[in-house]
Amino acid sequence: MRIGTTGKILRVDLTRGALRVEQLDEAFYRLYPGGRALAAYLLLRELPPHTEPFDPENILILANGLLTGAPFSTATRFTAVARSPLTRAFGESEAGGYWGPELKMAGWEAIVITGRAEQPVYLSIRDDRAEIRDARHLWGREPAEAQASIREELGDKLIRVLQIGIGGENLVRFAALTNELRHFNGRSGMGAVMGSKNLKAIAVRGTTRYLDLTQNPQPIAELGRVLAKRVREHPQSWDLQDKGTPGLVGSLNASGILPTRNFHQGAFENVDKVSWDAYEKELLTARRSCYACAVRCKREVAVNDRYQVSDAYGGPEYETVDGFGPNCGIDDLQAIAKANELCNRFTLDTISTSSVISFAMECFEHGLIGLKETGGIDLHFGNAAAMLQLVELIARRQGIGDLLAEGTRRAAERIGGDARYFAMQVKGQELPMHDPRGKVGVGIGYAINEAGADHLTAAHDPMVANPDSISFKSALPLGVEAVPARELSSRKARNYAILENWNSAEKVVGLCFFGPAPRSFIQVDEVVTAVRAATGWEVNARDILRIGERATNLARAFNLREGFSRAEDTLPERLFQPLENGALQGVAVPKAEFDQTMTEVYRHKGWDPETTAPTRARLRELDIEWVADWLEQA
């Protein structure tokens, strides 16, 4: 089967200590060609309804995209899927780095993990040889130590290690997975699911070349050459290489949508202290990359001053700079870099960790929690030392950290009163650092995403707002029209539905959000060319959109089965209130128009606007009518 994959899945039953190989055929791959499509299919079909996230029966699926490991920029992503301990919904998180491509080179498309080991174990995979090994000596150790130890005992300095730190071991509900210490499946608490299975790490090494798995290697090799050159010529990819995502801080602040003090405000008075120029001067030591990616948007930092920050764990991304910075009222970049290092050492999602801390700070300012609850920590906005203390308490589940490790929604329910209003979350997952009051389509994505608030659900509105922009022109083959960033309307709903399908398809084929148009420099027809060359399938852009749409329908079906409804597809009340400062002072998401546009989005998706259930007709069009039968039974 030369379609960009071997179609081989490794089944791991940790309760029995058993490994099994499963072979998927091309007909299966035509419908579910990897990544979130493959993983969503398996979760929906195989997880017994209402299985609790920490039950050994929960299934953790790690799945490569169709193009993951292809030798061109941004073809690096793999997906982690399970029932989420944070939301109890469909849990999903993508990561780049090196682990996914290495798994592909080892000849595996996915690993499906069930059960719970009696004692900590890790998995070693070298090409087609897989074994479960004792990890008792690794439990409690930091990722850098654990990785070195695994490499030493396997006698392979370059084996790629995916693992959890103490956040996952302690079942922090937003614990992450890390590979190569610098790349993260941050969202949805996939690290906690892995911890609940007593699985410390998965080490992988492979020797198969991606191009040997494909029908037609030449166009893919050529694409690699073209894109490597284009990275430096295209303004969006060049900006990513030059500044990385931290470059967004200044522009979002100027636009009035830099989340500040728990989304209370949209601009930060000391933004210069945390913007790119300061970052470059104070923190930056190198630019790094994922597998075969010429964009090199990853930052590396080190500090030896007010704080000691190691360069082993990567540098803070935009989300982390804003989350631990302005959104906590903090203007100390070194403290932000330290918080990032701690999260990465403990394998905590930086978005959820920073958000639960800004939530706690607002509760403290309003007297909902006091020094008694915090153990004497002064939690006013702006207190960098307190913020760093909380990161550690959360990872260790000590003191107030034990409550905050449950996530903002659960913490707010226990604190009571106005705390619910301060919990910036959807379905239990904390908001990323993009304010929908300035780009309402991002709000639709937060509300509708099956995994809870996520900023990578669809391209952000400004990318398709200006008809003369390079990003808008690059999205034209998808069928979008130019719509202002804050407009809520039928045409916004249509744009959103298209862009959501496109982003979902990226997660199926394994491309990073920063690769394809409109976000960046890979054209729509080039994605089509790559899929065609890998598989030999005569697909077009519409087919690729359908691949993405199918995956989303599977995720939606999972949530419906678990009792989710339209009521959960909403935004925190604060976003319907006006921003207090900045360029958009006084601007809110208009609630009635938002609800109306959501209704239009469901219609475009072929879902019942009242229940959000996909109609049988739409499922038939997507060749997954069996889902309608399952939903009727449920």
Binding site for ligand SF4 (CB under 6 A): 74, 76, 96, 289-290, 293, 295-298, 512, 514
Nearer to ligand SF4, 321 or 387 (CB): 321
What residue has token string 């029209």? 481
Q: How far is the CB of 357 from ligand SF4 (least distance, A)?
A: 25
Long-range CB contacts (within 8 A, 24+) of 607-615: 607/556, 609/566, 610/566, 611/560, 611/565, 611/566, 612/556, 612/560, 612/564, 612/565, 612/566, 612/569, 613/556, 613/560, 614/553, 614/556, 614/557
Q: Classify 94 as helix, strand or coil.
A: strand
Amino acid present at 483: V
Q: How far is the CB of 76 from ligand SF4 (least distance, A)?
A: 4
Q: How far is the CB of 296 from ligand SF4 (least distance, A)?
A: 6
Q: How far is the CB of 297 from ligand SF4 (least distance, A)?
A: 3
Q: How far is the CB of 244 from ligand SF4 (least distance, A)?
A: 8
Nearer to ligand SF4, 292 or 405 (CB): 292
According to DSSP, the β-strands at 177-179 and 121-126 are: unpaired
> 579 CB contacts (<8 Å, ≥6 apart)?
256, 265, 266, 435, 437, 585, 586, 587, 588
Answer whether 59's CB lies under 8 Å from 114's CB. yes
Nearer to ligand SF4, 243 or 550 (CB): 243
Q: How far is the CB of 506 from ligand SF4 (least distance, A)?
A: 11
Nearer to ligand SF4, 297 or 497 (CB): 297
Q: How far is the CB of 178 from ligand SF4 (least distance, A)?
A: 14
Amino acid present at 385: A
Nearer to ligand SF4, 178 or 612 (CB): 178
Q: How far is the CB of 438 from ligand SF4 (least distance, A)?
A: 24
Nearest-angstrom CA–CA distance, 26 and 438: 44
What residue has token string 């900006």? 239
User: In sequence order, what are the beta bridge partners of 429?
Assistant: 426
Q: How far is the CB of 245 from ligand SF4 (least distance, A)?
A: 9
Long-range CB contacts (within 8 A, 24+) of 47-52: 47/83, 49/561, 49/562, 49/634, 50/562, 51/83, 52/83, 52/88
Nearest-angstrom CA–CA distance, 546 and 577: 36
Nearer to ligand SF4, 243 or 492 (CB): 243
Q: How far is the CB of 289 from ligand SF4 (least distance, A)?
A: 4
Q: Classify 604 as helix, strand or coil.
A: helix
Nearest-angstrom CA–CA distance, 259 and 395: 24
DSSP letters, 455-505, are: TTSS--GGGGT-TTSHHHHHHGGGT-----TT--SHHHHHHHHHHHHHHHH
The tokens for 321 are 């700079």
Amino acid present at 472: F
Provide, for the chain, the percentages of residues in helix, strand and coil under a 3-state DSSP scheme, each rounded to the nearest 5: 45, 15, 40
Nearest-angstrom CA–CA distance, 100 and 125: 13
Q: How far is the CB of 77 from ligand SF4 (least distance, A)?
A: 7
DSSP letters, 46-76, are: HSPTT--TTSTT--EEEEEBTTTT-SSTT--
Distance, first Cα to last Cα, the chain? 35
CA angle 340, 346, 349 (to 5 degrees): 60
Q: Classify 250 as helix, strand or coil.
A: helix
Q: How far is the CB of 111 from ligand SF4 (least distance, A)?
A: 21
Q: How far is the CB of 37 from ligand SF4 (least distance, A)?
A: 20
Q: Classify 20 as helix, strand or coil.
A: strand
